[in-house]
A = this chain, B = another copy of it.
């Protein structure tokens, strides 16, 4: 299917007239050439496209296809668009397989992103659509040295909230100190000049904050024990935590250290839509909303000789819809329970692809005590208990009330919490949260809303997860169309769980479908 070289492909789909061109620059191919604004040739000739799912992928595909002259109909099982892009505010509802329906009851203006909450600065298509749709962005403050590590019940530093900067800088300090003790300057000299070796040692000294004896005794980087001020208030810092204590409490485990710092997906700058990320779905919905049929549950997808036939049910009963092509964005965990006549490798990929278990709870507080009492403005506290993470809001700083994401967990933690009732989850978040923030007792307003994505109807999972082997045995089979049916969604990307995965996949499938219809012989984008 890869009929052209990658450069040729990009040349074909890229517009050279526009003003934005980061993707190609990032790819190292071109110094300046826009790729975000699609500028395909040819027309969709009014072909009928049935899109299954009004999530980001389905809506972005419909938005681009409409520009090309296709007629799109989107079938959406929920009564809202966005799918897993879901901002919980007053009146929002969710429905889980075991727990039934739940409705959020929050004060006006309060919300939390129950789905994706962060936009990495290099997720260019997400940012492209935010710009094209006029959605204002603000920083999602993923890195906050003032937030905590909390190790429940483990080691000498157990059950203390410890500012991340203390652990970060103490660990760096001990590492540098150890290197100075262990190093044989001859080892350095083999690769570096004598002068450069001295500079590298100077770097190590600076990196660790060592004293003139090359020992780590703490620095102000680890935080003040007495804040500096006016007059004679010089400020002071406490002695470092003993290395053995940090290790013994698990604070040097990857679970804690550098989890939220180093990964490129979590590096600053991160962004979010002002007022809630669902704004991205809302604005896309303004473009394609008239084509969405809500509360329609697909029961069957059948490729035929002349097109594709979708059977769905709504309040009025069962219906059939004929299309020239279908773009199926339904999560594979949900699609697996829908009747179809796909080939066996495709069917197997649908049935076997695993999705992550994950869950979040939003909790409303009458006072932003994390800011007022604890100097925490955004960021994340990490724990080793079921909460795993507490997210502090990156919006409305110094406001009156506020919401915390009381936990955001994955895998086994999320499974345990997902198996609880809504009330049990709230109790868990409250009781474990109290260990870190005793202010919960006075400030929590008994308003919570939780979502376990792997138990949520029409989602049934956080996002697709693949091993390298599964990328070959499962994923690869869904990259080609199954006759008239194209598959798309974050699960058909290497950006699983990110909005950008949905957008990238939408772009790919529109590219492939339009190439077929307009005979431009441009295949799915492939890295050559």
Contacts and interface: CB of A to CB of B under 8 A. Distances in A.
Interface of A: 19-23, 25-28, 32, 121-122, 124, 127, 130-131, 135-139, 141, 143-146, 165, 169, 171, 175-176, 178-179, 181-184, 187-188, 191-193, 196, 199-200, 202-204, 206-207, 209, 220-221, 223-236, 243-244, 247-248, 252-254, 257-258, 262-264, 267-269, 271, 367, 372-379, 394, 397-398, 479, 488, 492-495, 501, 504-505, 507-508, 524-527
A396 to B, nearest CB: 8
A269 B144 contact: yes
Contact of A525 (B225, B229, B264, B505): B229
Contact of A25 (B23, B244, B374): B374
A26 to B, nearest CB: 5
B505 A258 contact: no
Contacts of A130: 398
23 contacts: A21-B373, A22-B374, A26-B227, A32-B373, A121-B144, A122-B224, A124-B375, A130-B398, A136-B397, A144-B268, A146-B267, A178-B187, A182-B182, A193-B244, A220-B263, A229-B493, A230-B505, A231-B524, A232-B479, A233-B504, A268-B268, A269-B378, A271-B397
Contacts of A248: 196
B20 A373 contact: yes
Contacts of A169: 262
Count chain B CB atoms within 10 A of each CB in A25, A230, A526 and give the residue with the most. Answer: A230
Contact of A207 (B234, B258, B264): B258
A130 B399 CA distance: 11
Contacts of A183: 178, 182
Given A21-B373, A121-B376, A243-B192, A203 B252 contact: yes
Contact of A375 (B26, B135, B209, B229): B26
A264 B122 CA distance: 27
A139 B394 contact: yes
Given A121-B375, A398-B137, A508 B231 contact: yes
A432 B179 CA distance: 38
A494 B187 contact: no
A258 B231 CA distance: 30
A229 B507 CA distance: 10
B182 A145 contact: no
Contacts of A207: 171, 175, 257-258
Contacts of A224: 26, 122, 264
Contacts of A32: 373
Contact of A244 (B145, B187, B191, B206): B191
The 3 closest A-B pairs by CB, nearest first: A228-B494, A230-B504, A139-B139
B373 A269 contact: no
Nearest to A21: B373
A240 to B, nearest CB: 13
A262 B209 contact: yes
Contacts of A179: 175, 178-179, 182
Given A131-B398, A397-B271, A232 B187 contact: no
A244 B268 CA distance: 27
